[in-house]
Amino acid sequence: MKTTLKILKYEFHNVIRNRWMLAYALFFLVISEALFQFGGDASKVMLSLMNVTLLIIPLVSLVFGTMYAYNSREFIELLLSQPVDRKWLFVGMHAGLALPLALAFVIGVTMPFVIHGVGEAGNTPTVVALIGAGIFLTLIFVALALLIAVVNEDKGRGFGVSILLWLFFAVIYDGLILLATLTFREYPMEQPVIVMTLFNPIDLARIALMLQFDISALMGYTGAVFEEFFGSVTGMVVSFGSLVVWTAFPFLLALRRFIQKDF
Amino acid sequence: MIEIRNIDKRFGSLHVLKGVGFAIERGSITAVVGPNSSGKTTLIKCVLGLVRHDSGAVSIDGVCMNGTWQYRNDIGYMPQIARFPENLTVDELIEMVKDLRNVKNAGEEELIELFRLGSERKRPVRTLSGGTRQKVSAVLALMFNPAILILDEPTAGLDPLASSLMKDRILNERQKGKTIVLTSHNMHEVEELSDKVVFLLDGKVLYDGKPHDLISTTGEPTLERGIARLMENNGK
């Protein structure tokens, strides 16, 4: 565990000084501020910001994480030649990569809300939910990025897989759900759709946030079904539990492959 | 003593090491040489535990290394490619490795002075030249006074002065009783430094002995020509 904290300390210093990290924080800062300037009240800003967050965080976490892991390969070899346990080295690497990314997002999004006094409008729980969803997505997609880099030896192939994975979760998966509901429109699809939602972390985060915004009524009958399930205590436990599983599963899979990997 | 016994390693269909075995005496310099893709770096990585061999064993002073990591406390490793986190300074990099080993004084000041890195220590790694990175890599390997030094192409990319300093240091470490394993494509360097040469070809040990014995066996005037003759004789 001490090894993890040591690795985390230096990896964090290295990643946080990366100019892309500054650009990432500035991106959220500029977008949030621009939405306040042009969009009006905090709830509209959060709704627009939710859509940006759900697309950008998985993309940046996957691409930046994959590239970072490939570019660190020789240094990982050097660290593995030191008297350290592979397991704790990997945990430190994941945290050292995910924490600066999450921090850049939190700072970029939070500052405009603080400046414009979001707390006064009673929107604090929604902002906290947005930040929580962003942190979860960062942890999940950084773990997936490390898994891609550990499994694929070739950097170009790894980069391609990370882009494809983002496309799948951000775009294709919803298309498949739509296709399934159209194909089986004669049958009650509400329950299967809820189950399918659990297999996509972006959809999970989206639904959790939409319930916070209380706009599920705009989605008609499906929205009512989602609200009934995900708005209940069981639904909240299931959705939160699914996000935790989504955080742990790729991480543990990547850890297992990292421990067995030849460098 | 390091004992490498009958090591086999495949990467998919590629059979990289085929029953490689030899012993490395304590207080000696052993050069592992061979053409590209002969298995030198894979063999070194097997000793370090970076690559897990399919069969065979590596033992240090009679203790088998399979799956453990604590033995690396006694090893200093200089990789072929010196690539470090771009935004850390040289000092931070050295601190990181010291932190990982829980050592406060690793003798790094003497090494920084030796390789004339004093003016570079506050600079981020991304601003350093390839040669300077290689010197930093040498400092990281030689710190902690390890009993075993594993150096993969230690003088590659170094200027003549730094290369000369590095070679002097290697000889000096041997005098102190250190066990040194190095790889090199520079046969003059191997001849100058090593007590023993292990020549690998297509993942097999083709020669294991003293450099001068190889020269006299092949009847060639230099080690480079002797190695070339061995390769020719084996259809290369």
DSSP string, B175-234: HTT-EEEEE-S-HHHHHHH-SEEEEEETTEEEEEE-HHHHHHHHT-SSHHHHHHHHHHHT
Q: Which of B45, B49, B96 sits opposite A10 (nearest CB)?
A: B96
Interface of A with B in 7-26 (CB under 8 A): 7, 9-11, 13-15, 17-18
Q: Which of B73, B79, B96 sits opposite A74 (nearest CB)?
A: B79
Query: Into how many domains does chain B fold?
Result: 1
Q: Residue B114: its pLDDT value, please?
A: 94
Per-residue pLDDT tens over the stretch A122-167: 678 888 889 999 999 999 999 999 999 999 999 999 999 999 999 9
- Which residues lie below 8 Å from residue B174, measured CB to CB, with a gap of 6+? B27, B28, B29, B180, B195
Say how far apart CA B138 and CA B156 lie, in whole Å.
11
- CATH at residue B134: 3.40.50.300
| H or E stretch covering B16 | strand B14-24
Q: Round the average pLDDT of chain A to a whole number and report it.
A: 89
By C-alpha distance, the chain B residue nearest A14 is B87
Say how far apart CA A196 and CA A186 lie, in whole Å.
18
- DSSP for residue B103: -
Domain coverage including residue A127: 2-260
Q: Which of A9, A10, A75 sits opposite B83 (nearest CB)?
A: A75
Say how far apart CA A59 and CA A13 lie, in whole Å.
23
Of the candidates B10, B85, B141, B36, which has an alpha carbon nearest to the alpha carbon of residue A262?
Answer: B10
Helices (H), chain A: 2-16, 19-39, 42-71, 73-80, 86-115, 124-151, 155-167, 173-183, 190-197, 201-213, 220-230, 233-260
Per-residue pLDDT tens over the stretch B72-129: 999 999 998 899 999 999 999 999 999 999 999 999 999 999 999 999 999 999 999 9
Per-residue pLDDT tens over the stretch A220-232: 555 666 777 777 7
Q: Residue A221: its pLDDT value, please?
A: 59
Interface test with A, best of B80, B99, B104 (most A CBs within 10 A): B99
Per-residue pLDDT tens over the stretch B144-183: 999 999 999 999 989 999 999 999 999 999 999 999 999 9
Q: Which residues pair with A124 in a beta bridge?
A: none
Q: For the ranges A4-18, A105-119, B134-148, which has the lowest average pLDDT?
A: A105-119
Say how far apart CA A192 and CA A206 lie, in whole Å.
17
Q: Round the average pLDDT of chain B to a whole number and report it.
A: 93
Q: Residue A217: its pLDDT value, please?
A: 59
Please give the torsion angle defined by the CA atoms of residues A149, A155, A158 and A162, in that order, rounded to the nearest 10 degrees: 100
Query: Into how many domains does chain A fold?
Result: 1
Q: Looking at the predicted structure, is the pLDDT value of residue A40 above 80? A: no
- Cβ distance B72 to A85 less than 8 Å, yes or no, reads no
- Cβ distance A13 to B101 less than 8 Å, yes or no, reads no
Q: Looking at the predicted structure, is the pLDDT value of residue A218 above 80? A: no
Q: Which residues pair with B32 in a beta bridge?
A: B183, B198
3-state secondary structure B38-82: CCHHHHHHHHHCCCCCCEEEEEECCEECCCCCHHHHHEEEECCCC
Residue B57: phi, psi to the nearest 5? -150, 150
- Cβ distance B88 to A18 less than 8 Å, yes or no, reads no
Contacts 24+ apart (CB under 8 A), A199-203: A199/A173, A200/A169, A200/A173, A200/A174, A201/A58, A201/A136, A201/A137, A201/A140, A201/A141, A201/A169, A201/A242, A201/A243, A201/A246, A202/A54, A202/A58, A202/A137, A202/A169, A202/A170, A202/A173, A203/A173, A203/A174
Mean pLDDT score, B43-67: 90
Residues in chain B: 236
Nearest-neighbour CA in chain A from B16: distance (Å): 13
Q: Residue A158: its pLDDT value, please?
A: 96
- At residue A214 the predicted structure's pLDDT band, cuts being 50, 70 and 90, is low
Q: What percent of chain A has pLDDT over 90?
A: 62
Structure tokens at B117: 């890195």
Interface test with A, best of B53, B96, B123, B136 (most A CBs within 10 A): B96
Interface test with A, best of B45, B83, B149 (most A CBs within 10 A): B83
Please give the torsion angle defined by the CA atoms of residues B47, B50, B52 and B58, in that order, rounded to the nearest 10 degrees: 10
Say how far apart CA A167 and CA A174 lie, in whole Å.
10
Contacts of A92 in chain B (CB under 8 A): none
Structure tokens at A64: 């930046």
Q: Which of A6, A75, A262 sits opposite B85 (nearest CB)?
A: A75
Say how far apart CA A181 and CA A52 lie, in whole Å.
26
- Cβ distance B85 to A80 less than 8 Å, yes or no, reads no
Nearest-neighbour CA in chain B from A29: distance (Å): 24
Domain coverage including residue B135: 2-233
**A145, A166 Cβ separation under 8 angstroms:** no
Nearest-neighbour CA in chain A from B213: distance (Å): 33
Q: Residue A219: its pLDDT value, please?
A: 59
Of the candidates B144, B152, B133, B201, which has an alpha carbon nearest to the alpha carbon of residue B173?
Answer: B144
Amino acid in position B28: S
- At residue B70 the predicted structure's pLDDT band, cuts being 50, 70 and 90, is confident
Q: Residue A121: its pLDDT value, please?
A: 58
Mean pLDDT score, B211-223: 92
